[in-house]
Amino acid sequence: MKMVIVFDTDDQQGMKNTVKIVEKLATDYLGVTLDRVHNRSFGKIEFIKTIREFGRQVAKELADDPESEPTGLLKTKRFAEKVWDVKQDGGRYP
C-alpha cells in the first residue's frame, strides 16, 4: 500500500490529523510507536549524572594532557553521540 499524506502548515487541525495518521501507520506497519523511534528523554537525575560523566571525561583528558581541548566541538560531539545512541535504544546513560 502506498499513501501520500499532505502536511499543510496553514491548517492547524490538519497537521494534528496528519501526525495521528502517521502514528497509526507506524504502529501498524513498523510495529513501533513514534515515541519509541524519536523520543529520547532524560529524567532530571539522569541528566545530572550525564553532565557529571562529561565533567569526569574532561578532567581525565586534562590530567593526561594539560594542553588538550577536551571541550572542543569534536570531542563534545562524540560524547553527545554516544549518549544519543544509548538513548535511541531506550537505555539510560550513564
- Same domain for 62 and 30, yes or no, is no
Torsion of CA 8, 30, 80, 53, to 10 degrees: 130
Residue 14 lies in a domain: yes
Q: What per-residue confidence (pLDDT) applies to 32?
A: 77
Residues 22-36 have pLDDT tens digits of 888 888 888 877 765
pLDDT grade for 87, boundaries at 50, 70 and 90:
confident
Residue 93 lies in a domain: no
pTM over 0.75: no
Q: Do 16 and 54 belong to one domain?
A: no
The range of the structural domain enclosing residue 23 comes to: 9-39
In whole angstroms, give the CA distance from residue 1 to residue 26: 13
How many residues comprise the chain? 94
Q: Which tens digit of pLDDT belongs to each residue from 52-79?
A: 999 999 999 999 999 999 999 999 999 9
